[in-house]
């Protein structure tokens, strides 16, 4: 059997979601937390995203969650004693059709009702925010200066360091290869260390959190649980540094374009891609560069001559209704889900880590955990979310 370990809670996935949960479990006084990950810190989606953090969403639940997450992100550097380059330059959303304009207006109304003061803008007003834009074909825009961009890696490192200080044990390069069960109850997790002779260990535990992102369905399948989320490759790139000029993150709801400028001056962005291979795939392609370049230059012609320095890809974790799968499930006791965040798990992790930790420790429910429960797919109670980009 190999080494035998004991844990109160095993978290599968050391991305920002899993580490945020571990940190908040420690804040609640929960000991015996073990986090396992098949790769290295920042090796998955948490280290491969654009770092956007916004409360411009179309549903009250998402707006309110992200208002709190924005506050937590703003306080993160001070709390964790690590610089995350939090820049509150806002998000500027563009739309190019009347149908999307109406949808955007409805989303802005929800945001304003929640106290997130977003403004609808005309194309002329959008150019006042970013004068370099070409708004030919743009019907309307929305803008909120409180939305932000951060550098993702220090957030992951900060949560990892904070969780470890509170007693969590983090095991990178460790695969989950199976579970031990008694009926519908988990009694242990079998893990195998990579690069150390394939040492297998048995972790005795009764609680498991599945926070493996695009790999979450694979983990759940080891327990006979089918999750409806699927991985979807998303590519992104970074340019040579330019003199600072772009304050907000600009997003086009028509084709999923988004781009922002980092503190070092690079333009970092991506664009929606529908025709990508099935399964987990983190390869980069020339096709992405062509699509991104056309969309970027249409929105901002002055960037036509900028040089791309590097390109990478990660996996969105897509659900059929563009909402996450969170909390306890009916099929297996104390097998908690934290996946399906549609490429937006990074920005939601600060608040969701706190809420999921409380859910696991106190075993209580709430409207949010009922709303995002796995059973909604079986019951046909699908949700909606209109403000998905990329």
Query: CB neighbours (10 Å) of residue 165?
Result: 11
Q: Find the mean pLDDT for residues 338-363.
A: 95
Please report the pLDDT score of residue 363 as a whole number. Answer: 85
Please report the pLDDT score of residue 39 as a whole number. Answer: 94
Q: Find the mean pLDDT for residues 248-259.
A: 96
Please report the pLDDT score of residue 364 as a whole number. Answer: 81
Please report the pLDDT score of residue 2 as a whole number. Answer: 73
Residue 91 has pLDDT above 60, yes or no: yes
Please report the pLDDT score of residue 14 as a whole number. Answer: 97
**Range in 6-15, 170-179, 233-242, 365-374 the model is least confident about:** 365-374
Q: How buried is residue 297: exposed, middle or buried, by Cβ count under 10 Å (0-12/13-18/19+)? A: middle
Phi-psi region of 333 (alpha: psi -120 to 50; beta: other; left: phi over 0): beta
**All structural domains of the chain with their residue ranges:** 3-47+154-229+321-379, 88-147+232-317
Q: Find the mean pLDDT for residues 96-122.
A: 98
Please report the pLDDT score of residue 277 as a whole number. Answer: 79
CATH topology for the 3-47+154-229+321-379 domain: FAD/NAD(P)-binding domain (3.50.50)
Contact present, 147 and 88 (Cβ < 8 Å): yes
Residues 320, 321, 324, 327: is their CA dihedral positive or negative? negative
Per-residue burial over 102-141, b = 16 or more CB atoms within 10 Å of its CB, e = otherwise: ebbeebbebbeebebebebbebeebbebbeebebeebbbb
Torsion angle of the four alpha carbons 29, 33, 37, 40, in this order, in degrees rounded to the nearest 10: 60
**Six-digit token pair at 302?**
């002055």
Task: Please report which confidence band the pLDDT of residue 199 belongs to, taking 50, 70 and 90 as the band edges.
Answer: low
Task: Please report which confidence band the pLDDT of residue 293 belongs to, taking 50, 70 and 90 as the band edges.
Answer: very high
- Residue with the larger pLDDT of the pair 200 and 99: 99
- 22-74: pLDDT as tens digits: 999 999 999 999 999 999 999 999 999 999 999 999 999 999 999 999 999 99
Backbone angles phi, psi at 41, to 5 degrees: -60, 135
Per DSSP, the three-state class of 313 is strand
Across all residues in the chain, what is the average pLDDT?
95
Q: Find the mean pLDDT for residues 113-129.
A: 98
- 264-276: pLDDT as tens digits: 999 999 999 888 8
Question: Among 249, 221, 227, 294, which residue's Cα sits nearest to residue 389?
Answer: 249
Instruction: Read off the pTM.
Output: 0.96
CATH topology for the 88-147+232-317 domain: D-Amino Acid Oxidase; Chain A, domain 2 (3.30.9)
Per-residue burial over 237-266, b = 16 or more CB atoms within 10 Å of its CB, e = otherwise: bbbeebeeebbbbbbbbbbbbbbbbbeeeb
- 308-336: pLDDT as tens digits: 999 999 999 999 999 999 999 999 999 99
């Amino acid at each position: 059997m190999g080494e035998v370990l004991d844990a109160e809670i095993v978290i599968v996935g050391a991305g920002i979601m899993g580490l945020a949960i571990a940190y908040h479990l420690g804040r609640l006084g929960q000991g015996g937390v073990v986090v396992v990950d098949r790769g290295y810190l920042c090796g998955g989606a948490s280290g491969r995203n654009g770092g956007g953090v916004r409360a411009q969403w179309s549903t009250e639940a998402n707006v309110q969650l992200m208002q709190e997450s924005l506050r937590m992100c703003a306080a993160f550097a001070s709390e964790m004693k690590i610089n995350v380059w939090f820049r509150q330059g806002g998000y500027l959303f563009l739309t190019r059709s009347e149908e999307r304009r109406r949808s955007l207006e409805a989303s802005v109304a929800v945001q304003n009702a929640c106290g997130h003061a977003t403004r609808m803008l005309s194309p002329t007003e959008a150019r006042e925010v970013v004068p370099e834009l070409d708004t030919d074909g743009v019907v309307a825009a929305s803008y909120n200066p409180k939305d932000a961009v951060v550098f993702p890696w220090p957030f992951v490192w900060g949560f990892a360091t904070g969780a470890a200080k509170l007693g969590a044990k983090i095991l990178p390069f460790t695969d989950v290869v199976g579970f031990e069960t008694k009926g519908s109850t988990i009694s242990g997790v079998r893990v195998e260390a990579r690069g150390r002779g394939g040492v297998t260990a048995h972790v005795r535990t009764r609680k498991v959190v599945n926070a493996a992102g695009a790999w979450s369905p694979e983990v759940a399948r080891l327990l006979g649980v089918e999750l409806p989320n699927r991985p979807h490759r998303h590519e992104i790139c970074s340019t040579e540094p330019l003199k600072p000029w772009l304050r907000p993150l600009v997003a086009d709801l028509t084709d999923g374009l988004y781009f922002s400028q980092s503190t070092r001056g690079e333009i970092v962005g991506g664009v929606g891609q529908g025709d990508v291979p099935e399964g987990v795939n983190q390869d980069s392609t020339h096709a992405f560069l062509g699509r991104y370049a056309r969309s970027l230059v249409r929105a901002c012609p002055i960037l036509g001559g900028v040089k791309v320095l590097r390109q990478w890809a990660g996996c969105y974790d897509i659900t059929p209704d563009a909402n996450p799968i969170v909390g306890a499930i009916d099929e297996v006791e104390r097998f908690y889900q934290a996946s399906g965040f549609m490429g937006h798990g990074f920005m939601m992790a600060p608040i969701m880590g706190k809420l999921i930790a409380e859910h696991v420790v106190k075993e209580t429910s709430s409207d949010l955990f009922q709303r995002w429960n796995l059973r909604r797919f079986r019951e046909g109670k699908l949700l909606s979310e209109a403000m998905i980009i990329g």
